[in-house]
Amino acid sequence: MKTEQIARERFMRLANGFRASSVILTAVEMGFFHQLAHHPQDARELSANLGIVERGAVRVLRVLTAFGLVVYDGRLYRIHDDYLPLLSPEGEAYLGDICQHNYRLMKRWINLDETLRTGRPPKRGPRDSADLQSFILGMENISRRAAHDLKDGIGVPRPKTILDLGSGPGTYSSAYLQQYDDVHVTLLDRPEVNQIARVILEAYDDRITCIDGDMFEVDFGGPYDLIMLNNIIHSWGDDHNRELVTKTARSLTPGGRLAIKDFFTHTDRHGPEHATLFGINMFLANEHAGVYSYEDAIAWGDAAGLQFERRFMVDSTSGALVLRKGEI
Protein backbone atom coordinates (compact mmCIF):
# COMPACT_ATOMS: atom_id res chain seq x y z
CA MET A 1 0.00 0.00 0.00
CA LYS A 2 1.23 3.52 -0.83
CA THR A 3 2.37 5.73 2.09
CA GLU A 4 -0.34 8.27 1.28
CA GLN A 5 -3.05 5.63 1.37
CA ILE A 6 -1.79 4.24 4.69
CA ALA A 7 -1.73 7.76 6.14
CA ARG A 8 -5.23 8.46 4.82
CA GLU A 9 -6.67 5.28 6.29
CA ARG A 10 -4.97 5.78 9.66
CA PHE A 11 -6.11 9.38 9.77
CA MET A 12 -9.72 8.50 8.96
CA ARG A 13 -9.73 5.74 11.59
CA LEU A 14 -8.49 8.21 14.24
CA ALA A 15 -10.76 11.04 13.12
CA ASN A 16 -13.89 8.89 13.10
CA GLY A 17 -13.18 7.12 16.38
CA PHE A 18 -16.11 8.94 17.97
CA ARG A 19 -18.60 6.81 16.03
CA ALA A 20 -17.56 3.55 17.65
CA SER A 21 -17.30 5.08 21.15
CA SER A 22 -20.66 6.75 20.81
CA VAL A 23 -22.48 3.52 19.85
CA ILE A 24 -20.76 1.35 22.48
CA LEU A 25 -21.08 3.80 25.37
CA THR A 26 -24.70 4.59 24.52
CA ALA A 27 -25.52 0.87 24.29
CA VAL A 28 -24.03 0.32 27.75
CA GLU A 29 -25.77 3.37 29.22
CA MET A 30 -29.16 2.32 27.80
CA GLY A 31 -28.88 -1.28 29.00
CA PHE A 32 -28.41 -3.23 25.73
CA PHE A 33 -25.82 -5.52 27.30
CA HIS A 34 -27.74 -6.07 30.53
CA GLN A 35 -30.72 -7.17 28.45
CA LEU A 36 -28.66 -9.51 26.29
CA ALA A 37 -26.82 -10.90 29.33
CA HIS A 38 -30.19 -11.77 30.85
CA HIS A 39 -31.26 -13.77 27.80
CA PRO A 40 -30.68 -13.70 24.03
CA GLN A 41 -33.40 -11.69 22.29
CA ASP A 42 -34.43 -10.26 18.95
CA ALA A 43 -34.52 -6.55 18.14
CA ARG A 44 -38.27 -6.31 18.71
CA GLU A 45 -38.13 -7.74 22.25
CA LEU A 46 -35.00 -5.76 23.13
CA SER A 47 -36.48 -2.47 21.95
CA ALA A 48 -39.71 -3.14 23.88
CA ASN A 49 -37.70 -3.96 27.02
CA LEU A 50 -35.62 -0.79 26.70
CA GLY A 51 -38.51 1.46 25.59
CA ILE A 52 -36.72 2.52 22.40
CA VAL A 53 -37.56 2.44 18.69
CA GLU A 54 -36.94 -0.90 16.99
CA ARG A 55 -35.49 0.76 13.87
CA GLY A 56 -32.71 2.28 16.02
CA ALA A 57 -32.17 -0.85 18.13
CA VAL A 58 -31.56 -2.91 14.97
CA ARG A 59 -28.93 -0.48 13.77
CA VAL A 60 -27.08 -0.49 17.08
CA LEU A 61 -27.24 -4.30 17.25
CA ARG A 62 -25.81 -4.54 13.74
CA VAL A 63 -22.85 -2.36 14.74
CA LEU A 64 -22.24 -4.34 17.93
CA THR A 65 -22.39 -7.53 15.85
CA ALA A 66 -19.97 -6.10 13.27
CA PHE A 67 -17.58 -5.24 16.14
CA GLY A 68 -17.81 -8.85 17.36
CA LEU A 69 -19.20 -7.84 20.77
CA VAL A 70 -22.54 -9.44 19.97
CA VAL A 71 -23.39 -12.60 18.01
CA TYR A 72 -26.44 -12.85 15.71
CA ASP A 73 -27.76 -16.33 14.88
CA GLY A 74 -30.22 -15.13 12.23
CA ARG A 75 -32.97 -14.52 14.80
CA LEU A 76 -31.59 -13.70 18.25
CA TYR A 77 -28.71 -11.59 19.52
CA ARG A 78 -26.44 -12.55 22.42
CA ILE A 79 -23.19 -11.21 23.90
CA HIS A 80 -20.10 -12.92 22.48
CA ASP A 81 -18.63 -15.31 25.08
CA ASP A 82 -15.30 -13.41 25.17
CA TYR A 83 -17.07 -10.21 26.23
CA LEU A 84 -19.54 -11.68 28.74
CA PRO A 85 -17.15 -11.23 31.72
CA LEU A 86 -16.76 -7.56 30.74
CA LEU A 87 -20.35 -6.69 29.85
CA SER A 88 -22.59 -8.90 31.93
CA PRO A 89 -23.46 -7.19 35.26
CA GLU A 90 -22.37 -10.36 37.05
CA GLY A 91 -19.12 -10.59 35.04
CA GLU A 92 -15.93 -10.88 37.08
CA ALA A 93 -14.20 -8.25 34.90
CA TYR A 94 -17.25 -5.97 34.52
CA LEU A 95 -16.55 -2.65 32.74
CA GLY A 96 -20.08 -1.26 32.57
CA ASP A 97 -19.61 1.40 35.28
CA ILE A 98 -16.53 2.89 33.64
CA CYS A 99 -18.39 2.93 30.30
CA GLN A 100 -21.27 4.79 31.96
CA HIS A 101 -18.77 7.24 33.42
CA ASN A 102 -17.23 7.69 29.95
CA TYR A 103 -20.70 8.18 28.47
CA ARG A 104 -21.07 11.20 30.79
CA LEU A 105 -17.57 12.42 29.92
CA MET A 106 -18.40 12.18 26.20
CA LYS A 107 -20.91 15.01 26.69
CA ARG A 108 -18.13 17.14 28.15
CA TRP A 109 -15.74 16.33 25.29
CA ILE A 110 -18.32 17.72 22.85
CA ASN A 111 -17.53 21.13 24.39
CA LEU A 112 -13.81 20.98 23.71
CA ASP A 113 -13.99 23.82 21.17
CA GLU A 114 -15.75 26.12 23.65
CA THR A 115 -13.31 25.22 26.43
CA LEU A 116 -10.39 25.87 24.09
CA ARG A 117 -11.83 29.33 23.37
CA THR A 118 -12.59 30.33 26.95
CA GLY A 119 -10.16 28.22 28.96
CA ARG A 120 -13.09 27.43 31.22
CA PRO A 121 -14.32 23.85 31.52
CA PRO A 122 -18.05 23.24 31.02
CA LYS A 123 -20.03 24.13 34.15
CA ARG A 124 -21.03 21.15 36.27
CA GLY A 125 -23.49 21.00 39.10
CA PRO A 126 -22.84 18.73 42.07
CA ARG A 127 -22.61 15.09 41.00
CA ASP A 128 -25.95 13.34 41.34
CA SER A 129 -25.91 9.91 42.91
CA ALA A 130 -25.94 8.00 39.56
CA ASP A 131 -23.02 10.10 38.37
CA LEU A 132 -21.05 9.49 41.58
CA GLN A 133 -21.78 5.75 41.48
CA SER A 134 -20.60 5.36 37.88
CA PHE A 135 -17.45 7.40 38.65
CA ILE A 136 -16.48 5.53 41.81
CA LEU A 137 -17.53 2.06 40.62
CA GLY A 138 -15.88 2.88 37.28
CA MET A 139 -12.61 3.39 39.17
CA GLU A 140 -13.20 -0.02 40.73
CA ASN A 141 -13.80 -1.63 37.30
CA ILE A 142 -10.46 -0.45 35.93
CA SER A 143 -8.30 -0.97 39.00
CA ARG A 144 -9.30 -4.48 40.09
CA ARG A 145 -6.43 -6.12 38.26
CA ALA A 146 -4.03 -3.15 38.45
CA ALA A 147 -4.32 -3.06 42.27
CA HIS A 148 -2.41 -6.34 42.63
CA ASP A 149 0.19 -5.32 40.05
CA LEU A 150 0.70 -1.98 41.81
CA LYS A 151 1.13 -3.71 45.18
CA ASP A 152 3.68 -6.13 43.73
CA GLY A 153 5.53 -3.32 41.94
CA ILE A 154 5.71 -1.09 45.03
CA GLY A 155 7.35 -4.00 46.78
CA VAL A 156 7.08 -2.73 50.39
CA PRO A 157 7.38 -5.86 52.52
CA ARG A 158 4.41 -6.29 54.91
CA PRO A 159 3.40 -2.68 55.53
CA LYS A 160 1.51 -2.37 58.82
CA THR A 161 -0.13 0.99 58.16
CA ILE A 162 -1.30 2.44 54.86
CA LEU A 163 -2.89 5.78 53.98
CA ASP A 164 -4.83 5.77 50.70
CA LEU A 165 -5.34 9.41 49.68
CA GLY A 166 -8.38 10.06 47.49
CA SER A 167 -9.08 6.37 47.90
CA GLY A 168 -12.33 6.24 45.87
CA PRO A 169 -13.64 2.66 45.98
CA GLY A 170 -10.56 1.55 47.97
CA THR A 171 -9.56 -1.06 45.39
CA TYR A 172 -5.81 -0.41 45.65
CA SER A 173 -5.97 -0.80 49.42
CA SER A 174 -8.04 -3.94 49.12
CA ALA A 175 -5.11 -5.71 47.41
CA TYR A 176 -3.11 -5.19 50.64
CA LEU A 177 -6.06 -6.11 52.88
CA GLN A 178 -6.43 -9.36 50.95
CA GLN A 179 -2.77 -10.29 51.18
CA TYR A 180 -1.84 -9.20 54.73
CA ASP A 181 -4.18 -9.89 57.63
CA ASP A 182 -2.34 -7.51 59.97
CA VAL A 183 -2.32 -4.38 57.79
CA HIS A 184 -4.48 -1.40 58.78
CA VAL A 185 -5.69 0.93 56.04
CA THR A 186 -6.84 4.54 56.34
CA LEU A 187 -9.04 5.71 53.47
CA LEU A 188 -9.24 9.46 52.97
CA ASP A 189 -11.92 10.80 50.63
CA ARG A 190 -15.17 12.76 50.58
CA PRO A 191 -17.81 11.40 52.99
CA GLU A 192 -20.14 10.31 50.18
CA VAL A 193 -17.30 8.38 48.52
CA ASN A 194 -16.13 6.73 51.74
CA GLN A 195 -19.70 5.57 52.23
CA ILE A 196 -19.47 3.61 48.94
CA ALA A 197 -16.01 2.24 49.83
CA ARG A 198 -17.24 1.03 53.23
CA VAL A 199 -19.87 -1.11 51.51
CA ILE A 200 -17.36 -2.53 49.01
CA LEU A 201 -14.79 -3.30 51.74
CA GLU A 202 -17.30 -4.46 54.35
CA ALA A 203 -15.39 -7.72 54.85
CA TYR A 204 -12.37 -5.76 56.18
CA ASP A 205 -14.34 -3.38 58.38
CA ASP A 206 -12.19 -3.96 61.49
CA ARG A 207 -8.96 -3.04 59.62
CA ILE A 208 -10.18 0.16 57.98
CA THR A 209 -10.42 3.72 59.22
CA CYS A 210 -12.11 6.35 57.08
CA ILE A 211 -11.14 10.01 57.20
CA ASP A 212 -13.91 12.06 55.58
CA GLY A 213 -12.72 15.36 54.17
CA ASP A 214 -10.50 17.41 51.91
CA MET A 215 -6.95 16.05 51.59
CA PHE A 216 -5.55 19.60 51.64
CA GLU A 217 -7.27 20.45 54.90
CA VAL A 218 -7.59 17.42 57.15
CA ASP A 219 -4.88 16.02 59.37
CA PHE A 220 -3.50 12.78 57.88
CA GLY A 221 -2.73 11.21 61.26
CA GLY A 222 -0.16 8.43 61.02
CA PRO A 223 2.71 7.95 60.64
CA TYR A 224 2.27 5.39 57.85
CA ASP A 225 4.58 2.79 56.30
CA LEU A 226 3.01 3.44 52.90
CA ILE A 227 1.00 6.34 51.48
CA MET A 228 -0.64 5.96 48.07
CA LEU A 229 -1.64 8.73 45.67
CA ASN A 230 -3.32 6.69 42.97
CA ASN A 231 -4.84 8.62 40.07
CA ILE A 232 -4.85 11.82 42.11
CA ILE A 233 -2.07 14.09 40.84
CA HIS A 234 -3.85 14.65 37.50
CA SER A 235 -6.57 16.56 39.37
CA TRP A 236 -4.22 19.28 40.58
CA GLY A 237 -1.73 21.83 39.35
CA ASP A 238 2.00 21.63 40.01
CA ASP A 239 1.83 23.76 43.21
CA HIS A 240 -0.91 21.69 44.79
CA ASN A 241 0.92 18.46 44.02
CA ARG A 242 4.11 19.80 45.56
CA GLU A 243 2.12 20.77 48.67
CA LEU A 244 0.46 17.36 48.81
CA VAL A 245 3.73 15.44 48.48
CA THR A 246 5.29 17.58 51.22
CA LYS A 247 2.30 16.89 53.48
CA THR A 248 2.58 13.13 52.85
CA ALA A 249 6.33 13.20 53.59
CA ARG A 250 5.57 14.47 57.10
CA SER A 251 3.16 11.58 57.68
CA LEU A 252 5.52 8.74 56.67
CA THR A 253 7.44 6.56 59.10
CA PRO A 254 11.25 6.74 58.70
CA GLY A 255 11.95 4.52 55.68
CA GLY A 256 8.28 4.74 54.65
CA ARG A 257 7.25 4.93 51.00
CA LEU A 258 5.05 7.25 48.97
CA ALA A 259 3.65 5.58 45.84
CA ILE A 260 2.28 7.78 43.06
CA LYS A 261 0.34 6.10 40.28
CA ASP A 262 -0.95 7.98 37.25
CA PHE A 263 -1.00 8.29 33.47
CA PHE A 264 2.56 9.60 33.29
CA THR A 265 3.72 11.35 30.16
CA HIS A 266 7.07 11.17 28.42
CA THR A 267 9.63 13.66 29.74
CA ASP A 268 8.67 16.26 27.09
CA ARG A 269 4.94 15.54 27.77
CA HIS A 270 4.23 14.82 24.07
CA GLY A 271 3.22 11.21 24.51
CA PRO A 272 2.25 8.46 25.02
CA GLU A 273 -1.16 8.72 23.32
CA HIS A 274 -3.28 7.70 26.30
CA ALA A 275 -1.64 10.19 28.68
CA THR A 276 -1.95 13.08 26.22
CA LEU A 277 -5.63 12.26 25.68
CA PHE A 278 -6.08 12.10 29.43
CA GLY A 279 -4.58 15.59 29.53
CA ILE A 280 -7.56 16.74 27.43
CA ASN A 281 -9.95 14.96 29.78
CA MET A 282 -8.51 16.90 32.70
CA PHE A 283 -8.43 20.18 30.73
CA LEU A 284 -12.19 19.69 30.41
CA ALA A 285 -12.51 18.90 34.13
CA ASN A 286 -10.90 21.86 35.88
CA GLU A 287 -8.63 24.81 35.26
CA HIS A 288 -5.58 23.48 37.10
CA ALA A 289 -5.56 19.77 36.34
CA GLY A 290 -2.93 18.19 34.15
CA VAL A 291 -0.80 15.20 33.33
CA TYR A 292 2.78 14.93 34.48
CA SER A 293 6.03 13.17 33.75
CA TYR A 294 7.90 10.96 36.24
CA GLU A 295 10.50 13.74 36.45
CA ASP A 296 7.84 16.21 37.66
CA ALA A 297 6.85 13.86 40.49
CA ILE A 298 10.46 13.11 41.39
CA ALA A 299 11.02 16.89 41.72
CA TRP A 300 8.06 17.18 44.16
CA GLY A 301 9.62 14.36 46.16
CA ASP A 302 13.07 16.04 46.11
CA ALA A 303 11.54 19.24 47.48
CA ALA A 304 9.92 17.20 50.27
CA GLY A 305 13.11 15.28 51.11
CA LEU A 306 11.91 11.99 49.57
CA GLN A 307 14.31 9.89 47.53
CA PHE A 308 13.43 8.25 44.26
CA GLU A 309 13.38 4.48 44.67
CA ARG A 310 11.82 3.01 41.53
CA ARG A 311 9.33 3.46 38.73
CA PHE A 312 7.43 0.86 36.71
CA MET A 313 4.45 0.37 34.38
CA VAL A 314 1.35 -0.86 36.21
CA ASP A 315 -0.59 -1.65 33.04
CA SER A 316 -0.46 -0.59 29.40
CA THR A 317 -1.53 3.00 30.13
CA SER A 318 -0.37 3.91 33.63
CA GLY A 319 2.80 3.83 35.65
CA ALA A 320 3.91 4.29 39.23
CA LEU A 321 6.72 5.87 41.12
CA VAL A 322 8.00 4.95 44.58
CA LEU A 323 9.63 7.62 46.75
CA ARG A 324 11.28 6.81 50.07
CA LYS A 325 11.69 8.79 53.25
CA GLY A 326 15.15 8.62 54.87
CA GLU A 327 15.62 6.53 58.01
CA ILE A 328 16.35 9.48 60.34
Ligand X SMILES: C[S@@+](CC[C@H](N)C(=O)[O-])C[C@H]1O[C@@H](n2cnc3c(N)ncnc32)[C@H](O)[C@@H]1O
The count of residues in the chain is 328
Grouping H, G, I as helix, E, B as strand and the rest as coil, residue 182 is: coil
Q: Write the binding mask 226 to 265 for ligand X: x where contact by CB under 6 A, - elsewhere.
A: ----xxx--x------------------------------
174 neighbors 201 (Cβ within 8 angstroms): yes
Residue 2 has, within 13 A of its CA and on its CB side, a CA count of: 3
CB of 235 to ligand X, least distance (A): 6
CB of 197 to ligand X, least distance (A): 8
**Does 41 participate in binding ligand X (rule CB under 6 A)?**
no
**Does 100 participate in binding ligand X (rule CB under 6 A)?**
no
Distance in angstroms (rounded) separating the CA atoms of residues 311 and 317: 14
**Does 189 participate in binding ligand X (rule CB under 6 A)?**
yes
**Does 186 participate in binding ligand X (rule CB under 6 A)?**
no
Distance in angstroms (rounded) separating the CA atoms of residues 203 and 201: 5
Q: Which region among 41-49, 148-156, 167-175, 279-287 touches ligand X (by CB under 6 A)? A: 167-175
**Does 145 participate in binding ligand X (rule CB under 6 A)?**
no
DSSP string, 243-278: HHHHHHHHTEEEEEEEEEEE-PBPTTS---HHHHHH
Smaller CB separation from ligand X, 28 or 228:
228
Phi and psi (nearest 5°) for 221? 70, -150
Rounded to whole angstroms, the maximal C-alpha distance in the chain is: 71
**Does 275 participate in binding ligand X (rule CB under 6 A)?**
no
> Cβ-closest residue to ligand X?
168
**Does 194 participate in binding ligand X (rule CB under 6 A)?**
no
Pick the binder of ligand X from 43, 99, 139, 297 (CB under 6 A).
139
Positions in the binding site for ligand X (CB under 6 A): 139, 143, 166-169, 171-172, 189-190, 193, 214-216, 230-232, 235
